[in-house]
Structure 1
Amino acid sequence: MPDVHRSDAPVTLDRREGPYGEVVLRERGDDFEIIANGCFLMDTSDGRSERLLIDAALAALPADRTAPSVLIGGLGVGFSLVRAAAEPRWGRIVVAEREQAIVDWHLEGPLAAISGAALADPRTGILPTDLVEYLGTTTDRYDALCLDIDNGPDWTVTEDNTSLYSPAGLADCRERLTPGGVLAVWSAQPSADFEQALRNAGFDGVRTEEIAVARGVPDVVHLALRTD
């Protein structure tokens, strides 16, 4: 008979039904997991690729860029935000997160232990809004867009998010960047097709950085520049 008390058996801490489907926060041993519409999104077991998303974007910016602004698409478990807040070079740090449940888990739930200090940073602001809608309607511009939405351009959990990686969505991303700005996109797997889509959208300097994982294909960060 299986041991139902094993430490690696997940425990559901919260379950919410929202406008985009169900989101669940689970605890597995020492880690937390976010599940969306029954599909695993991310957990707190590693975070190297989420941190790379921020580091690679900053490294790609001109060295003389003073207090660059960054828009982080997706709060997730908070690793990207925490990395940005730990870097004094960043100026304004904005996080767009459409799932109120995830925001709540960070503000007053178990994930506050990870992100509390970063959320209290005066440079940080939370936009409780859909990223795709925001990019298509705002006139704000940023020096960097760091996007970690679903599992990347080739595998979206929520159908609405596919438009972010469409030609129109990438055009909106480019328009929201300052000249010389950088787009960084996290993905659960490399995608030559997405690299070409970035070039087709008018981005330059398109490249991919990989992070090895324990099993399967590596996580990646796609990078692209707006040079004009």
Structure 2
Amino acid sequence: MPTEYAEVARAESERGELVLRSRREDDGPEVLELRANGVFVMDTAETTSEVAIATAALKLVINPRDVLVGGLGLGFTLQAVLTDLRVERCTVVEIEEALVGWMRDGTIRHGQRVLADARANVVVADISLALAEARESSYDLVLLDVDNGPGYLVHDANAAIYEPPFLGLLRRIVRPGGAVVIWSAAEEPGLERNLGGVFDHVEPHSYAVDLQGREETYWLYVARQESSAR
């Protein structure tokens, strides 16, 4: 039986078209799928990377009281962060207002449950502007998951996120002893170099995942902040 698709919601912004659609294969469960300008972003069937970035990152910081997540997506990274009771507040910066609305109004069915956690704080803004306005040393941990890495951009303008000026903003808002973790679908030596020019220590970590019977290798780039002075 062929896969059946149905459009759930659609929105237009200055960045283009955002579509949420459902699909069903044979007698399997309904899967929600997010696409930006026709390009697949993520779905509810495979959440390995979203959970992995949170799980791995939370192990890096002794007391991750304040966490910043760049990119809401379908909410699975936020959900994973909130399972850690050490987290007192998790701020998520998401540029697409429609996506936040779909989470809040139940269009994305699990969205209301995730956002009901009093520790969750969702900000609709461009991540660069949000970081520029944030106080110095505001966060213990920053997770960046707005693309599939610098080689697989959702929007061309996101290329700036992986360059030194933006990475410098990340360093400014991370507390001493904190960490920045950037997820990538592929090894990115250029990103490692850029991070190394800004942070005290950088460590790339690869990890294997099973995507419905297909083995893939993903990467987490961990940048650590030892002191506020440089």
Cα gap change, 1:146 to 1:70, in 2 (>3 Å): same
Q: Tell me if 1:134 matches 2:133.
A: no
2:6 is matched with which residue? 11
Give the aligned partner of residue 149 of structure 1: 146
Take 2:80 and 2:210, find their aligned partners in 1: how far apart are those partners?
20
C-alpha distance in structure 2 between counterparts of 1:90 and 1:190, whole Å = 29
Equivalent residue pairs, number: 219
User: What displacement does 1:206 show?
Assistant: 1.7
Structure 1 position 71 matched with structure 2 position 68: yes
Distance 1:10 1:150 in 2: 24
Counterparts in 2 of 1:91-106, with a 5 A limit? 91-106=88-103
In the aligned structure 1, how far is the partner of 2:32 from the partner of 2:148? Answer: 17
Cα deviation, residue 44, structure 1: 1.0
Question: Aligned partners of 1:217 and 1:132: how far apart in 2?
Answer: 30
CA deviation profile, 1:11-56 (whole Å, cap 9, x unmatched): 2111111121111101112211111112111111121211111111
SS at match of 2:59: helix
- 2:142 partner amino acid: L
Counterpart residue number, 1:24: 19
Q: Matched residues in 1 for 2:8 and 2:218: separation?
A: 27
TM-score, reference length from structure 2: 0.88
Question: After the TM superposition, which parts of structure 1 deviate over 6 Å for at least 4 consecutive aligned residues?
Answer: none
Q: Does 1:219 align with 2:218?
A: yes
Identity of aligned residues (%): 32
* Closer/same/farther in 2, CA of residues 75 and 138 from structure 1, 3 Å limit: same
CA distance in 2, matches of 1:14, 1:197: 38
Any conservation in 1 of the 2:192–2:202 contact (CA below 8 Å)? no
Q: Which has the higher strand share?
A: 2
- Determine the structure 1 residue equivalent to 2:44: 44
